[in-house]
Structure 1
Amino acid sequence: MEQLINYLLHFGQLNQQQIDLIKSRSMVKTSRKDTYYHEAGRIPREVIFLTAGIMRVCYYNNKGDEITKYFIDENNFIVDIHSYNQHIPSTEYIQAVTDCEYIVLSREVMDELSMTIITWDPIIAKITAKSLAEKVNRISPMMAEDATERYLMFLRNFPALANRIPLSYLASYLGITQSSLSRIRRNIR
């Protein structure tokens, strides 16, 4: 729970009473490796804060191929923000790449915290802005790079993830086949 509180405090002030309220309304849960935390077609009803492990956001294209959009590691919030805010079914899956532990804040809890803690909405707005900027910064540079450069950029930007995720997911994220990724890895060693 302290990971969540420390993260929130980077974005705004909370007094001890507010911290205690957040802790009392939050739940810790786990997901086993390869299980889906969230499936497409469902409306997200909670926001989670990942405290241990890696999750990935993926979807199926019109050919039925599974495409990894991005990975999320510890100390990050996870939710399909558009579906959550609009109360509409998501088009994305969220899957545990490793065993994961996370803190759950239901929609009701988020609403309660918004009405009770005066700094809550500005804190959440700053976190959302930061997350969206990071998402754009992750995806945009990859569009202009060749496969080798995309892989090297991934290694530079996410060195802690490279050895924790399966090659098939990484290849999907990079937009290449697994055999192409294996060849690239062999050539840069």
Structure 2
Amino acid sequence: MEEFINYLLQFGNLNKQQIDLITSKATEIELKKDEYYWEAGKTVRQVGFLTDGVIRVFYYNNKGEEITRYFIEENHLILSGNTVDEVFTPSEYLSAITDCKLVVFSKQNWKDLSATIIGWDSIIQKIITKHHAEKIARRSELVSQDGTERYLDFIEKFPTLVNRVPLSYIASYLGITQSSLSRIRKNIR
């Protein structure tokens, strides 16, 4: 919980009463490796913040292959849909790559925070903007790079993930085969 509060404080000010309210509305949960935080086709009923671990966002293409869209690591907010009122049924899966710890809020408790804490929406909007910019920066370069450049870029942008994520997931994220990734890794050593 402390990690979440400290993260929020980077984007705005909160007094002790507001922090106590946030803490009272939250629940801390653990996901074991390979457990889903959410699944395609099932309505999402909570907002989460990852305090420890790595989650993979993936979907199945029309050939039934798993395609990794991106990775979520510590200090990331996991929102569902465009607004908290929206009934959100994802087309993707969020699965724990490692054992994970999250701070979660029911959608109603999240709305209560928004209605009660002056400046809450501003803080959350700043966080969303930051995460969105990071996601775009990470993905946009992949289009114009070859496999080696993509992998080197991945190492640079995700230095903590290289040893925490299976190679098959990294290869899927980079849009290359696992054997190509093995060759690339061998050639750059």
The one-letter code of the counterpart of 2:59 is Y
Q: Which residue number corresponds to residue 116 of structure 2? A: 116
Alpha-carbon deviation of 1:50?
0.6
Hey, what does 1:74 align to over in structure 2? 74
What residue identity is the alignment partner of 1:69?
R
Cα distance, 1:151 vs structure 2 = 0.3
Whole-angstrom CA distance in 2 between matches of 1:9 and 1:86: 27
| Partner of residue 21, structure 1 | 21
Other-structure match for 1:38 = 38
Structure 1 gaps, min length 5:
none
Distance 1:83 1:150 in 2: 33
Alignment of 1:13-162 (within 5 A): 13-82=13-82, 86-162=86-162
Paired residues of 2:46 and 2:80 also in contact (CA < 8 A): no
Over the residues paired in the alignment, what is the CA RMSD in angstroms? Answer: 1.2
Q: Residue 180 of structure 2 corresponds to which residue in structure 1?
A: 180
Superposed displacement of residue 158, structure 1: 0.8
Instruction: String of CA shifts for 1:90-114, please: whole Å, max 9, x gaps.
Output: 1110000000011001101110001
d(CA) in 1 for partners of 2:76, 2:84: 16
8 Å Cα contact 2:81-2:87 kept in structure 1: no
Contact 2:84/2:111 (8 A) holds in 1: no
Structure 2 residues without counterparts, runs of 5 or longer? none
Cα distance in 2 for partners of 1:116, 1:22 equals: 10
Q: How many residues align?
A: 189
Deviation, 1:63, is 1.2
The percentage of counterpart residues that share the same residue type is: 57
**Secondary structure class of the residue paired with 1:22:** helix
Does the C-alpha gap of structure 1 residues 171 and 83 become closer, same or farther in structure 2, counting only changes over 3 Å? farther
CA–CA distance in structure 1, aligned partners of residues 153 and 88 of structure 2: 34
Counterpart of 2:157 in structure 1: which amino acid? N
Q: Hey, what's the Cα distance between the residues in 1 that align with 2:38 and 2:76?
A: 16
